Structure 1
């Protein structure tokens, strides 16, 4: 018997051999359509990458990222208790959310006095933690109150780690209003906090991400904001070397691991390019992260735990200095202690048990991550230059140029959500109509439209949630949801795949499917439909059965009183069936949102 290492018994693993094996498995299928995807910016995501020589990459300082928890409880006393529980439970940073901040989601603290701020941070020892202010249009006033609190407590400014979160341009994007004279106030605040570790200005990506921006657009917007703050500080008399240390960036982390890791790596490269252009030796940029509001769902909210954990891990692997993960019930209302503990412990597991922070740049040399990082960097730089040619971020927002570009991407993404090319687990995929309510301390108030000139803010699942809400309201009013009768043709083995698909698809719109084991006779089918009390039906079976049975079944259902009839699939005889009264087709890739809205309306009569 030959005694050789196993690896020597096989030929070299080359791309050519791999491609031949893939083509054989595809059996004539299109390689590009099956295995290559594209991002919202048109970047190709290949199925296989060669190892890459790692480029020089600015990284986070050695050690784990900071675990930051939002403090958004409106009652100062309860907020203080909440903060202490978080810190005792493993968090080492807090985000103090002002009620006027766009990210308050209808809650947040009333920080109109130093006494109120002191009460919210009662027993919190500021030198032992990192603190970020999230105050939106009240940013300068809140920073001034924090300065007074530091003086009142006698804390050494040099011992503090603060991010004041001043982002006038981000506030302009979210509210439509830009504070006059913000440049002078920014410089004044920077002088007042001289010697404090951390940052004064924050280029915040959340307004752009919530409006639907792509990764490139998000990077370009925060880079344009950061440079505007750098210019303002320099023009106000601050040394350029010190001015850059007063600026931090907050990027949004979502559940797409590859793009999130690459995005966080790209911002560091972009800022290093700015520093070099300014004649400065690059230093690590302070990069903060918050998980995406856009990806959160109100339905099946437990899936949000998976989304935020993936987003947190991706931000940490990408080099974030601090990560704020949103509690899984935030879209429903003010999170309770359990939701806060879950999101806190998820980070602790990632850092302490999974040890994801032990390697400074784990993506270095990985072909996919290196390629995406390089492409995002170049495209974002070009998009940033476009904003600069338009007169800077404020001018681009005022003319609506940036908003139009973001809206185009958001519209394309909305189409992908409507057709489930971008699936939302628990909302558009695998919905559960009988899910139980989830506890929150207070229900979220009704969202209001943002003022003219502001970028919109929306979660991807909102259209499906609106349909589910209408279904719940009908159930409460009448005792029944909108319903669809599944006209299953043939035995279970024949119709099961499409009847299951149809039941799940209709459930995404709050429409309850009335199932059965299938029918071989049209008379029995018509009688079962009458007995169901439904107004809408959906034919479900195989294409072979449709050839002979769909037309008679369609006629029988119409005679039995069906006002609207759909068919699951795309059979060859679909057009003839339409001529005979079939209303529409339900298939993978159809505009499911439009179909569900129509079906719900017709099911209600």
Structure 2
């Protein structure tokens, strides 16, 4: 090549060598490859949020978006609330420690703090969140979901040798914060720690508690009064502690899609802003003390866009309340989804959590909990904690994600999705506002009904296997070894905690304590709460004093927690129980007809189909004649026989083979793989009991067969 020619080539920008293609030209080429199939049906995907995911995006899709030229650290904060994103301050490694006793939590902290944990993410058990002492609670409430915290001794055991000036707090106290905060503040004070040294969040979420439990320990007004008092005290004495939590986990875990979850979070945040303003606090005092926590699911780009949209919409809301730039900055904690985690093939949960954690990082989360892979079974062990914790470290140190500020920013797809999610979440938020706000909407059942509809849609897609859960409704492994289950003996724990409470009451000056509780009931201040705590009052006693002489507590329909895999897991569990009871797994014999090329596709389909319900599938390389197939099927002694071949061969095979089997064993269920529409009636008349095919409801079919064959009651 001549020197001048080489220089010319080197100076030519790479893409200038190719003629640019318009969207219309690309679409024409794409439609040609579809060979007549509708473009909209094959290449455009409708999400549960009713967003149409396009196969390709271009610059025109984002040209008119108002946020597109914004910068990190500047309103509307879509790109991050910090100018340098995670470069200066990495996301907190805020792993939940869901153990039922303070001793077990301490053991986990001692193991995990030297190995990367940077926050005390402390889930509280149901009794603690409801403000009930464990000896007054139902046994199932004690240790359910987290630690039982009821006495000052509990708080002392928890915080022994912990440097809370360096360890960030991450504690959602439920409907009331003051009793929990009182115990922890006194224990920290005894270790020489000033409240001004604390940071993170130690806050209440009354509306989230109402949605989850269906009731509150007191009236919503009283909960707001106490929240305002705790916030006012923290502004004066613990300025780095956020006191109000907006948690949307309850909506996510009930099956809500991203728009519904975000809309509920925004409406809850607005309710808290209004309630605190009514009690004398300004928006610039309140908004910086609100901690948002949400779950991130499996739809990677949608979830990244949702987190970006959340910051943008919250900034819009706080601005409408005349909040300044500092007040408009959302504090965002993310946990990877509990909805997506499975009990079977649990190591796949590591992969699910990895994708979800990456979405949280790229969406700008400031602290993250990554699910333990065995979360759906019960308490994590050291191994599952280590894997989840190390994923943070890998994302930071090996992937260098902390060096990236809003990495998807400018992406045509992500920016367009951010705008679409923001618009739809705003619509859902406005629908809640038209109900009178979040509390009124919950009492009217509006969010519950909308989320129930989405949950039903999700379960239907999973049942039909349009939504795939690897290892559960597709590609199940019936030979897997299930993990060791670490569950709580609630009765034993309840008894032990009752002993702890009796000891706490016996060793205090009861007259002093009762006097302090009377003072607390009259004043309902943090000063009075701290005095009661120092006098030995328990969490339940303080909670009762704070809601004394209160009006009736609200009652709503609670949002039930679910997981995507639970229906198919129930089928597997039923089949496993049958196997343990009878000594043999319920079985399906595949009557594969003809050479492998003729039956393989449907045989593979049938194997996957039945294994999802816990059925053992007996395969083979195919039979040349009906007689051979019938003899083999009868010899296998299987409860179900499934015929696998092609639609073209079925007219000659199905009637004869079905008759040969049922004439010898009438109770055998004969299934046909496929759904040859023109012959359905004929095959049913010949004795076919079920048809399995791509459009079949796999879950309902398997449940029906389990009942028919005595596997299920």
* TM-score normalised by L of structure 2: 0.81
Gap change, CA 1:157 and 1:333, over 3 Å in 2:
same
Q: Distance in 1 between matches of 2:233 and 2:485?
A: 39
| Alignment match, 2:333 | 288
Q: Secondary structure at the match of 2:401?
A: coil
Q: Which moved more, 1:219-228 or 1:572-581?
A: 572-581
| Alignment match, 1:50 | 58
1:531 offset after TM fit, Å? 1.0
Q: 1:477 aligns with which of 547, 559, 581?
A: 581
Q: Distance in 1 between matches of 2:208 and 2:394?
A: 32
| Alignment match, 1:601 | 707
Q: Distance in 2 between matches of 1:445 and 1:291?
A: 27
Q: Secondary structure at the match of 1:127?
A: coil
Task: Determine if contact 1:212/1:407 at 8 Å carries over to the other structure.
Answer: yes
Q: Deviations over 1:157-205 (max 9, x none)?
A: 3332121131000000000013310111001111222243141111110
Q: Secondary structure at the match of 1:202?
A: strand
Task: Determine if contact 1:332/1:443 at 8 Å carries over to the other structure.
Answer: no
Q: Distance in 1 between matches of 2:661 and 2:490?
A: 44
1:536 aligns with 2:640: yes
| Alignment match, 1:90 | 116
Q: Distance in 1 between matches of 2:142 and 2:333?
A: 18
1:444 offset after TM fit, Å? 9.2
Q: Distance in 2 between matches of 1:104 and 1:97?
A: 13
Q: Distance in 1 between matches of 2:170 and 2:17?
A: 58
Q: Secondary structure at the match of 2:165?
A: helix
| Alignment match, 1:79 | 105
1:68 aligns with 2:94: yes
Q: Which moved more, 1:39-48 or 1:155-164?
A: 155-164
Q: 1:310 aligns with which of 327, 337, 355?
A: 355
1:421 aligns with 2:455: no
Q: 1:209 aligns with which of 230, 252, 263?
A: 252
Q: Secondary structure at the match of 1:431?
A: coil
| Alignment match, 2:675 | 570
Q: Distance in 1 between matches of 2:187 and 2:239?
A: 14
| Alignment match, 2:157 | 119
Q: Which moved more, 1:349-358 or 1:454-463?
A: 349-358
| Alignment match, 1:587 | 693
Q: Distance in 2 between matches of 1:310 and 1:158?
A: 37
1:17 aligns with 2:14: no
Q: Distance in 1 between matches of 2:374 and 2:680?
A: 43
| Alignment match, 2:187 | 149
Q: Distance in 1 between matches of 2:307 and 2:490?
A: 33
Task: Determine if contact 1:72/1:104 at 8 Å carries over to the other structure.
Answer: no
Task: Determine if contact 1:249/1:288 at 8 Å carries over to the other structure.
Answer: yes
1:546 aligns with 2:650: yes
Q: Secondary structure at the match of 2:96?
A: strand
Task: Map residues 475-554 of structure 1 onto 2, 5 A cutoff.
Answer: 475-554=579-658
1:108 aligns with 2:116: no
| Alignment match, 2:345 | 300
Which ranges of structure 2 fall in alignment gaps of 5 or more residues? 71-75, 131-140, 492-554
Task: Determine if contact 1:336/1:440 at 8 Å carries over to the other structure.
Answer: no
Q: Distance in 1 between matches of 2:574 and 2:488?
A: 17
Which ranges of structure 1 fall in alignment gaps of 5 or more residues? none
Task: Map residues 26-425 of structure 1 onto 2, 5 A cutoff.
Answer: 26-51=34-59, 52=62, 54-56=68-70, 57-58=76-77, 59-61=80-82, 62-63=85-86, 64-100=90-126, 106-137=144-175, 139-178=177-216, 179-180=218-219, 181-194=222-235, 195-282=238-325, 283-425=328-470
Q: Deviations over 1:23-61 (max 9, x none)?
A: 222122221121111111211111111144524351143
Q: Distance in 1 between matches of 2:488 and 2:670?
A: 38
1:440 offset after TM fit, Å? 4.0
Q: 2:664 aligns with which of 560, 567, 571?
A: 560
Gap change, CA 1:297 and 1:153, over 3 Å in 2:
same
1:426 offset after TM fit, Å? 1.0
Q: Secondary structure at the match of 1:467?
A: helix
Q: Distance in 2 between matches of 1:121 and 1:50?
A: 54
Q: Distance in 2 between matches of 1:31 and 1:443?
A: 53
Q: Distance in 2 between matches of 1:241 and 1:55?
A: 26
Q: Which moved more, 1:121-130 or 1:265-274?
A: 121-130
Task: Determine if contact 1:490/1:541 at 8 Å carries over to the other structure.
Answer: yes
* TM-score normalised by L of structure 1: 0.95
1:12 offset after TM fit, Å? 1.3
1:121 offset after TM fit, Å? 2.9
Q: Distance in 1 between matches of 2:433 and 2:363?
A: 27
Q: Deviations over 1:382-401 (max 9, x none)?
A: 21111111111111111112
Q: Secondary structure at the match of 1:460?
A: coil
Q: Distance in 2 between matches of 1:427 and 1:229?
A: 41
Aligned length: 601
Q: Distance in 2 between matches of 1:502 and 1:263?
A: 38
Q: Which moved more, 1:128-137 or 1:209-218?
A: 128-137
Q: Distance in 1 between matches of 2:292 and 2:399?
A: 26
Gap change, CA 1:7 and 1:221, over 3 Å in 2:
closer
Task: Determine if contact 1:527/1:560 at 8 Å carries over to the other structure.
Answer: no
Task: Determine if contact 1:484/1:536 at 8 Å carries over to the other structure.
Answer: yes
Highest CA radius of gyration, 1 or 2? 2
Q: Deviations over 1:111-153 (max 9, x none)?
A: 1012212212332211112111133356442122222223222
Task: Determine if contact 1:251/1:264 at 8 Å carries over to the other structure.
Answer: no
Q: Secondary structure at the match of 2:481?
A: coil
Task: Determine if contact 1:333/1:444 at 8 Å carries over to the other structure.
Answer: no
Task: Map residues 428-447 of structure 1 onto 2, 5 A cutoff.
Answer: 428-442=473-487
1:208 offset after TM fit, Å? 0.9
1:475 offset after TM fit, Å? 1.1
Q: Secondary structure at the match of 2:122?
A: strand
Q: Distance in 1 between matches of 2:37 and 2:365?
A: 40
Q: Distance in 2 between matches of 1:105 and 1:519?
A: 57
